[in-house]
Amino acid sequence: MKTVITYGTFDLFHEGHYNILKRAKEQGDYLIVGVTTEGYDNSRGKLNIVEPLEVRIEHVKECGFADKVIIEDHMGQKIEDIQKYHVDTFVIGSDWLGKFDYLKEYCEVVYLERTKGVSNTLKRSEEFRLIRIGIAGSGRIAGRFVKEARYVSGVHVEGVYNPHIESAERFARENELDFYEDDYDRFLERVNAVYIATPHETHYEYAKRALECRKNVLIEKPMVLKKSDAEELFAIAKERGCIIMEAIKTAYAPGFIRLVGMAKSGIIGEIKDVEACFTKLTGDNTRELMDTRYGGSFTELASYTLLPIIKLLGKDYKNIRFNCNYMKNGLDGYTKVYIEYEDAQATSKTGLKVKSEGQLVISGTSGYIKVAAPWWLTREFEICYEDTSLNEKQYIQFKGDGLRYEISDFVATVNGYGNNDFKLTREESLVIAEIMEKFLVECRSGFCDSSS
C-alpha cells in the first residue's frame, strides 16, 4: 500500500482545495491530510483564517478523499509524521515549488500544478466571498504580490493584465495564473477585485474603470497624484458599494501599528518632531529613474515617509517646503521635505541616487522612539529616555516582505468582517495625494525652494 500525505489550512474550502486532495489521493492508496492550527498558521505568517479548526477538519472529511486526518501544530512536524506513518509520497501545490525539497531525504516529494479556474467557494462557505483578484501590471511588485497572496486565506490570484501581451503572457506563465489579457475590459470581466500595480500616472484611470464595473480595488502607492482624483475614486467606490484601499504596506504591518499606538499613548510625552528617511540606490535604467514626468525619488518613496508624519502629527500641516537634488534628466535623485505644524515639525528624506541613514525618529517631550532601517518593515523599535536605564525595546513579528498584511486587510474589508480602516484612513490617503500634487507642481520645473 502506497501512503501519501499532504497539508494545508483548508479555510473556506473551495474547488482548489477539493482538486488538490483528489489529485493527492490519485498519487497512492492511502491519503493522510494534515490540517494546520490557527496558532501554527499565525507563527508561519498565514493570515486571515476565518473558520475554526474543527470546521476545516470537517470540510476535509466531507470531500471523501482523506483516509486519515491529523492536526499540524508545530514546525518540524512533517518529518515526524512522514516517519511515524511510513509515508511514501509527500504532495503539495506547485506554488510551494522547492520549499519542501528537504523532505526528499525521507520520501518522494511531488509538487502538483496549481489549480486553475477556481471561481467560487463551495456551497458550505457561501457566506464568505472568495476574492478572485486580477493584477493590473506585471512588474516587480506584481510578482511579489502573487507570492505573498498564497499566505492569505480567502483570496485567489486569477490573472494579469498588461497592454503588452508578451509581458502578460510571460508573467502568467511564470506565476501559474489562470489567464492573461491585454484588453482591460475583458480582464475586468473575469475577476471581482483588482490589484493595480501599474505606473503611477495610470492608477487613476485603471481604478476608476474598475470601480465603475463594481470591482473592489487595492491600489499601489501613491494611490494617485492629484487630490481631486483621490476624492473622485473614493466617491465612486461609495456610490458603487465597493472598497478601494491604498497599498502602503507599512500601514498594515503589526509592528508599525504598535509603534503608532505607543507613540500616541503619551509614552514619550507630546510628539514634537518626526523624521523619516527612505533611500535606496537604483540603476539608471529603472522605470522610476526613466519616467521624466512622474518618476524620481519623491513619487517613488514618499508615501512611506509621509505615512508616520501624517499618522502622528495629523493632516492639518501649516507649511511644506521641498528641497531637491536633481539628476540630468530633471528627476529628483534626492529630496528633503520640511513640514511645519502648529506646534510640531517633520522631515521627510527620500533618495534613489543618494544613500542616507534610513531611520525613523519620533521625538517627544519625555523621550523619543527610534526605529532603525528598514523601519518601513517594522520588526523592532526602541523607546529611549534621558535615563537610559529606562530604555525599552519592542520586537514584533513581520513575515515575508509585508504585502500579506495589506492583502489580508483587503480581503477582510471586502467580506465585511474586518474593521481595519483606521490603519490607513481615507483622509490620510487624501493628504498624501495632496502633497504629491504639490510636489509635482512646484518641483518638476527645476526649482524646489517654493513653499505653500
Convert the pLDDT of each residue in 369-396 to its tens digit: 999 999 999 999 999 999 999 999 999 9
pTM assigned to the model: 0.81
What topology is assigned to 251-399+421-443 in CATH? Dihydrodipicolinate Reductase; domain 2 (3.30.360)
In this chain, the answer to whether the domains covering 3-112 and 129-247 adopt an identical fold is: yes
For 212-293, strand residue ranges (E) read: 216-220, 244-247, 271-279
Convert the pLDDT of each residue in 302-355 to its tens digit: 999 999 999 999 999 999 999 999 999 999 999 999 999 999 999 999 999 999
Residue 154 identity (one-letter amino acid): G
- Report the alpha-carbon distance of residue 110 to residue 218 in Å, rounded: 34
User: In which residue are the cell numbers 534613489 written?
Assistant: 352
Where residue 76 falls (left for φ over 0; alpha for ψ -120 to 50; beta otherwise) is left
CA dihedral sign of residues 120, 121, 126, 127: negative
**179-181 and 155-161 as β-strands: parallel, antiparallel, unpaired?**
parallel
Orientation angle between helical segments 203-212 and 227-240, nearest 10 degrees: 10
Convert the pLDDT of each residue in 424-442 to its tens digit: 999 999 999 999 999 999 9
Domain boundary assignment for the chain: 3-112, 129-247, 251-399+421-443
pLDDT level of residue 50 (50, 70, 90 thresholds): confident
Q: Return the pLDDT at 128.
A: 62
| Nine cell digits for residue 118 | 477556481
Instruction: Give me the CATH code for the 129-247 domain, please.
Output: 3.40.50.720
Q: Which of 147, 124, 153 is nearest to 62 (CA)?
A: 124
Is the distance from CB of 244 to CB of 216 less than 8 angstroms?
Answer: yes
3-state helix, strand, coil in the chain (%, to 5): 40, 25, 35
Convert the pLDDT of each residue in 192-206 to its tens digit: 999 999 999 999 999
**Per-position DSSP letters for 59-72, written without gaps between them:** HHHHHS--SEEEEE
pLDDT level of residue 445 (50, 70, 90 thresholds): low
Instruction: Give me the CATH code for the 3-112 domain, please.
Output: 3.40.50.620
